[in-house]
Amino acid sequence: YSDPHFIGNRRVITHLMEWKYDDIGNECERFLGPYGYGGVQVSPVNEHAIMDGRPWYERYQPVSYVIQTRSGNEQQFRHMVQRCNRAGVRVYVDVVLNHMTGGQQGLGTAGNYFNGHEQQYPGVPFGPEHFNGPESCPTENLEIIDWDNPVQSRNCRLFGLRDLKQSCEYVRRKQIEFLNKLIDFGVAGFRCDASTHMWPEDLQNIFSRLNNLNEEFFPSNSRPFIYHEIIYYGGGGINPNEYISLGRIIEFRFWKEITNVFRGHNQLKWLRNFGTEWGLIDSSDAFIMIDSHDLRVGHNGELGFNINCFEPQLLKAATAFMLAWNYGIPRILSSYRWKQIVKDGKDLNEWVGPPTDLFGNIISIKINPDESWNNQYWMCEHRWKQIYNLVRFKSIVDDEPIINWWDNGDNQIAFSRGNRGFIAFNLQKTRLNNDDNGNADYDKNQLDLRKRLQTGLPAGTYCDIISGDRDGNKCTGKSIIVDQNGWANIYIGHNELDVFFATHLEAKL
Ligand code: LAG
Ligand code: CA
């Protein structure tokens, strides 16, 4: 379950959070396909609770497995999957199998009644006998209290969400039916929500009974790609290793360590051996990110550890490192705008859902002839040039090793990917500012990266794909001249907006 089934040398997934299926279909054809994205993750597709104010997290409260949400209905979903596959872009669905809603009642997005208090979900149907209760969950209020305790963590309630008993054959069967329906429509796999809270053997049972992927789009005998949300930062508790045979693990230590470095709390030079030597799981088991639908609003609700779209320079730089490094399968969050209200390090508006019109319909993405879009609503991080140019970089350098590492002993680094791509970062400023509390008494020139470095590249003139692009036989931004032996003068000034420089074989004049 660890092969994403990318087409050709595509390597990167984007999550078009809360987008509508018709819009995603359009985006696959006009952007994701042409710009080399490998796949798109869509927000949960099945019926969920309608909550006051329509927060984004209502999609994580399932009511049935009917495919109908504000993103569209089953037909629209199906049509989107076909269009994306034909554009060379795979589709992965975020699936919530651990639980149904919290303790409320009402209607779901497909019109089905539900009652969380009584654990009645007639749209499936599920009843009280399909949920974990006092016989399987040892805590008094049925809530998870000790998160490191495997029984509590799997059989008790996560934030009050009614916890499905996946040891029950009927529950499994309903979930398998749902997943197989998606597979038959042509999806390539799933993001598995809250995997830590489900028993590996139950998941094994469910996954082993899934259909092979649809042969209209995939080679025969292809298994679905599955990546698991397992929040693990080392230490005791539930270890991701328990899930490795069940797909890839979203490696939370990746974003944590990288964010820490890019925020100036650790020197860039240490990244030299970043990966398994830092205790991370094997690259071939890993799925990685910098930002996500959850992290956007803080790490456990606390801002300052995460990097989101409100710090675009930082987000671009950290994302660039993710895309240039040779580790795991990267996902880029493409989010929407909301009005952040930060108080005591928390975002009071963390609940705000996607942009809607007066009737509560999600607003469409509109692309203008000059490729700009209605960015008062949608951030479209996947359309930021520094990001999509590195998506291309990743395709071009493929699995080439990291060589020609250079650092200045502090916060300037550079490396090449075999002889196909080269990247350099200059975060010296961040570091010095931190060290001396802004009372700088240093030579500004020391903050510039100005150095003759080994790029690994064949001789020629190369365009920087960050400050500009290659446009026919000229560069619209910076350029470097690589000599016969691979050396070139690299310059990243301390006052440049983007703190990195990158180029590759296709950016050669
Ligand atoms: C996940 N991964 O394991 C998702 O990435 C995460 O976004 C989901 O939580 C969580 N698991 C459950 O699927 C989100 C919000 C929660 C929200 C939950 C259900 O981060 O804050 O809980 O979705 O909508 C909300 C309220 C809670 C309340 C609960 C039940 O915030 O206060 O207890 O609903 O009513
Ligand atoms: Ca559970």
Strand segments, DSSP code E, in 279-357 are 286-289, 329-334, 342-343, 346-347
232 CB less than 6 Å from ligand 1?
no
The residue out of 381, 397, 413 marking a domain boundary is 397
Tell whether ligand 1 has an atom less than 6 A from the beta carbon of residue 242: no
Asked whether residue 267 falls in the same domain as residue 328, the answer is: yes
Give, as one character, the DSSP assignment of residue 272: G
> How far, in Å, from the CA of 101 to the mean position of ligand 1?
9
Mean residue pLDDT of the chain comes to 96
User: Both 371 and 436 in a single domain?
Assistant: no
Query: Which ligand lies nearest to the CA atom of residue 137 in the structure?
Result: 2
DSSP state of 30: I
Which ligand has the minimum distance to the alpha carbon of residue 153?
A: 2
Ligand 1 probe mutation, 159, 198, 350, most atoms within 8 A of CB: 159
The answer on 280 and 194 residing in a single domain is yes
> What's the CATH code of the domain at 85?
3.20.20.80
Structural domain includes residue 126: no
450 and 372, same domain (yes or no): no
**Closest protein CA for atom 28 of ligand 1:** 159
Q: What is the pLDDT of residue 431?
A: 53
The domain boundary residue, chosen from 397, 418, 449: 397
Q: Is 250 in the pocket of ligand 1 (CB under 6 A)?
A: no
What region does 303 belong to: left with phi over 0, alpha with psi -120 to 50, or beta?
beta
253 and 336 in a single domain? The answer is yes
**Do residues 461 and 336 share a domain?**
no
335 domain-assigned: yes
163 within ligand 1 shell (Cβ under 6 A): no
The structure tokens 């049935």 sit at 64
108: in domain: no
Centre of ligand 2 from the C-alpha of residue 157, in Å: 7
pLDDT in tens, 314-343: 999 999 999 999 999 999 999 999 999 999
Two tokens at 387?
């990001």
pLDDT digits (tens, 9 = 90+) for 133-185: 999 999 999 999 999 999 999 999 999 999 999 999 999 999 999 999 999 99
Is residue 148, in this structure, part of any structural domain at all? no
- Statement: residue 436 has pLDDT above 50: no
pLDDT at residue 132 in the model:
98
Q: What is the distance between the alpha carbons of residues 144 and 482, in angstroms, rounded to a whole number?
A: 58
Q: Inform me whether the pLDDT recorded for 441 exceeds 80.
A: no
Residues paired with 467 in a beta bridge:
none
- Together in a domain, 377 and 413: no
Residue 3 covered by a domain: no
**Ligand nearest the Cα atom of residue 296:** 1
Domain boundary among 352, 378, 397: 397
Q: Do 381 and 426 share a domain, yes or no?
A: no
Residues 299 and 180 in one domain: yes
Residue-level pLDDT at 430: 66
Q: What's the gap in Å between 267 CA and the centre of ligand 2? A: 39
289 lines ligand 1 (CB under 6 A): no
Task: Verify whether ligand 1 is closer than 6 Å to residue 442 (CB atom).
Answer: no
In a domain, 64, yes or no: yes
CATH code of 502's domain: 2.60.40.1180
Taking the centre of ligand 1 as the mean of its atom positions, its distance from the CA of residue 508, in whole angstroms, is 47
Nearest CA to ligand 1 atom 17: 57
Note the pLDDT tens digit of each residue in 367-390: 999 999 999 999 999 999 999 999
Using a CB cutoff of 8 Å and minimum separation of 24, what contacts does 397-402 make? 397/324, 397/421, 397/504, 398/9, 398/11, 399/326, 400/326, 401/326, 402/325, 402/326
Are 290 and 434 part of one and the same domain?
A: no
User: Within a domain: residue 5?
Assistant: no
Percentage of the residues of the chain whose pLDDT score is greater than 90? 95
1 Cα to the center of ligand 1, angstroms: 26
Using the predicted structure, report yes or no on whether residue 362 has a pLDDT greater than 90.
yes
Does residue 102's CB lie within 6 angstroms of at least one atom of ligand 1? yes
For the stretch 63-110, pLDDT in tens is 999 999 999 999 999 999 999 999 999 999 999 999 999 999 999 999
**Residue that the structure tokens 């710090």 belong to:** 311
Q: To test the ligand 1 pocket, which listed residue (52, 60, 191) has its Cβ within 8 A of the most ligand atoms? A: 60
Question: Ligand 1, from 57, 114, 295: best to mutate by most atoms within 8 Å of Cβ?
Answer: 57
Residues carrying an active site annotation? 193, 229
Domain that holds residue 494: 402-507
User: How many residues does this entry show for the chain?
Assistant: 509
The total domain count for the chain is 2
Q: In angstroms, what is the span from residue 57 Cα to ligand 1's centroid?
A: 6
Ligand 1 site, residue 270, Cβ cutoff 6 A: no
The residue contributing the CA closest to ligand 1 atom 3 is 194
Task: Please check whether residue 495 lies inside any domain of the structure.
Answer: yes
Whether the per-residue pLDDT at 280 is higher than 60: the answer is yes
Task: Supply the pLDDT for residue 429.
Answer: 79
For residue 458, whether the previous peptide bond is cis, meaning omega lies within 30 degrees of 0, is no
What DSSP letter does each residue of 441-468 carry, written as one string? -S-GGGGSEEEEEE--PPSEEEE-SSS-
Maximum Cα–Cα distance across the chain: 74
Say whether both 66 and 44 belong to one domain: yes
Q: What is the ipTM of this complex?
A: 0.95
Cα–ligand 2 centroid distance for 291 (angstroms): 25
Q: Is 179 in the pocket of ligand 1 (CB under 6 A)?
A: no
Q: Look at ligand 1, atom 19, and give the residue with the nearest C-alpha.
A: 60
Residue 325 shares a structural domain with residue 425: no
| Residue 330 phi, psi (nearest 5) | -85, 145
